[in-house]
Amino acid sequence: MSEITLIGLGSMGQAIAKALLDHNVALTVWNRTAEKREALVNLGARGESDLGQAISASPLIIICVSDYAITHALLDQSEIVPLLRGKTILQLSTGTPGEVRKAHQWVIEQGGRYLDGSIMVYPQTVGTEAGQLLVSGAEAVYRDCETYLGLLGGDVRYLGEEIGAAAALDLAVVSRLTAITPGVIHGALICEAEGVSLEQFAAMYPPGDRAYSLAMTIHNNDFESNIAASVNVAIGVATSIKRQSQELGINSDFPDFQLSLYKRAVAAGFQNQDTASLIKVLRADTRN
């Protein structure tokens, strides 16, 4: 038996696995693409090629795949469902509060326990003091997972028993983050039109700030190396914010506005470029 089984070994899953292995947690790992297990097996994880065996190996199952639809496709299989009874599922994949509530209900119906977490940092920061996670769900389940969560970051915030709270706060924070991009791009249009250097614009922000990197990306006219977030990623995030607005029946003008801009960038062929590439579309709009 292991203490934890981790399903999903993408960039974030690798970081989670390493943080747990650094603290000698007995870890079983499973991933659709088998090669991603190898480095972790070398670090002491038990690699499992069969999903059912992987789930049977531990009482706590951490899931970190791209989204909830994939999670559901993996778990809702006739040979997997009976194995969930008595297991604790810690879902660290990103989803909307509505998706979280559905998944929570479904896991409970299968006889499992469910805790939802949102990782608020990049993979490099997981396992450090600066690592930040939001967690929501039944307090007893949280208390059982608390020690392991503490290995993933120094700033773990338990938001209470409302299962959708972590996903909701995650979306709210991401909403503010995404608002920076169109604001900075419009600021760059102002600087270009008024003859103010984009380096001076960038220097208004600390180097780690997204506003700084957006302004410098535009200044360097290089939208394809060191991509912080691609147009496709921005569309994915705006789509999630819009979906959650629709689920709740709240105003969706803001995600609609973002989607209308980014769809123009996609039409221009910039989907895999940094979101700063949107300026190339907007420069072409001259309205006098």
Ligand X SMILES: NC(=O)c1ccc[n+]([C@@H]2O[C@H](COP(=O)([O-])OP(=O)(O)OC[C@H]3O[C@@H](n4cnc5c(N)ncnc54)[C@H](OP(=O)(O)O)[C@@H]3O)[C@@H](O)[C@H]2O)c1
Nearer to ligand X, 75 or 279 (CB): 75
211-228 burial, b for 16+ CB within 10 Å, e for fewer?
Answer: bbbbbbbbbeeebeeebe
Phi, psi for 287 (deg, rounded to 5): -120, 115
CB of 51 vs ligand X, minimal distance in Å:
9
CB of 93 vs ligand X, minimal distance in Å:
4
DSSP 281: H
Nearer to ligand X, 2 or 125 (CB): 125
CB of 145 vs ligand X, minimal distance in Å:
17
List the Cα angle 186/191/197 in 5-degree steps.
135
**Where are the extended beta strands (E) located within the chain?**
4-7, 27-30, 46-47, 60-63, 88-91, 113-119, 132-137, 155-158
- Tell me: does residue 36 bind ligand X (CB under 6 A): yes
Q: Which amino acid is at 101?
A: R
- Tell me: does residue 31 bind ligand X (CB under 6 A): yes
Provide the sign of the torsion angle of the four alpha carbons 189, 190, 191, 196, taken in this order.
Answer: positive
Q: Cβ(231)–Cβ(277) under 8 Å? A: yes
- Tell me: does residue 66 bind ligand X (CB under 6 A): yes
Residue 101-120 contact track with ligand X, rule CB under 6 A, x = bound: ------------------x-
Helix residue ranges, H only, 23-96: 38-42, 51-56, 68-75
DSSP 230: B
Phi, psi for 134 (deg, rounded to 5): -105, 140
Strand partners, 135: 117, 158
**Among residues 17, 19, 25, 64, the one that binds ligand X under rule CB under 6 A:** 64
**Among residues 93, 217, 240, 275, the one that binds ligand X under rule CB under 6 A:** 93
- Tell me: does residue 33 bind ligand X (CB under 6 A): yes
**Among residues 9, 107, 168, 235, the one that binds ligand X under rule CB under 6 A:** 9
- Tell me: does residue 122 bind ligand X (CB under 6 A): yes
**Among residues 44, 59, 98, 123, the one that binds ligand X under rule CB under 6 A:** 123
**Among residues 5, 58, 94, 244, the one that binds ligand X under rule CB under 6 A:** 94
**Among residues 1, 22, 23, 32, the one that binds ligand X under rule CB under 6 A:** 32
- Tell me: does residue 65 bind ligand X (CB under 6 A): yes
Q: Which helix (H) or strand (E) holds 181?
A: helix 165-194
CB of 228 vs ligand X, minimal distance in Å:
10
- The size of the interface with ligand X (CB under 6 A), counted in residues, is 21
**Among residues 26, 70, 108, 228, the one that binds ligand X under rule CB under 6 A:** 70
**Among residues 2, 5, 6, 13, the one that binds ligand X under rule CB under 6 A:** 13
Query: Interface residues with ligand X (CB under 6 A)?
Result: 8-13, 31-33, 36, 64-67, 70, 74, 93-94, 119, 122-123
